[in-house]
Amino acid sequence: MSDCPFCGIVAGEIPGRIVGENDHAVAFLDANPMAPGHTLVVPREHRERLADATSEETQAVFALLHELAPKIETAVDAEGATVGLNDGSVAGQEVPHVHAHVIPRFPDDDGGPIHVAAGSRPELSDAELDEIAAAIGDD
């Protein structure tokens, strides 16, 4: 996609601090980091949502996350990392090219766990949980 910044970085047309790559995924530093070492991992092809990416591409993205997360932590002397992606604009996705974030975490940062991203917990009965599980399992 011509106006996508992440396609531009993958193609080498936009400057990006690339920190790792494999056949189907590329990792580069976030231009506006939430923490030192904040890294994005994207499929090489333009895929808007996670479900748009192929199984091979999602495996490549996860393989890079697995390879790089400890290296990122070591590089910036972090004690852990928040790893996740905003899938869809309702979830906060701003760039419409799938990207997983690795955000290094420090004991004195003012962040929280990934749970806070979704707000407060809904009250769900056992019956509702059963119904949801069945709906997800059916395809």
Q: Kindly list the residues in this chain that would bind ligand 5GP in the complex (CB under 6 A).
A: 5, 16, 28, 30-32, 40, 86, 92-95
Q: Give the binding range for Zn ion (CB under 5 A) out of 25-33, 42-50, 52-60, 130-138.
A: 42-50
- Residue 1 binds: one of ligand 5GP, Zn ion, none (C-beta under 5 to 8 A by kind): Zn ion
Q: Is 99 a catalytic residue?
A: yes
Cα–Cα dist 48/95, whole Å:
8
Where do we find the tokens 């590089």?
75
- Burial letters 23-61, b for 16+ CB under 10 A, else e: ebbbbbebeeeebebbbbbbbbbbbbebeebeeebbebb
Cβ distance to ligand 5GP smaller for residue 35 or 60: 35
Active site residues: 99
Residues that bind Zn ion (CB under 5 A): 1, 4, 6-7, 46, 97
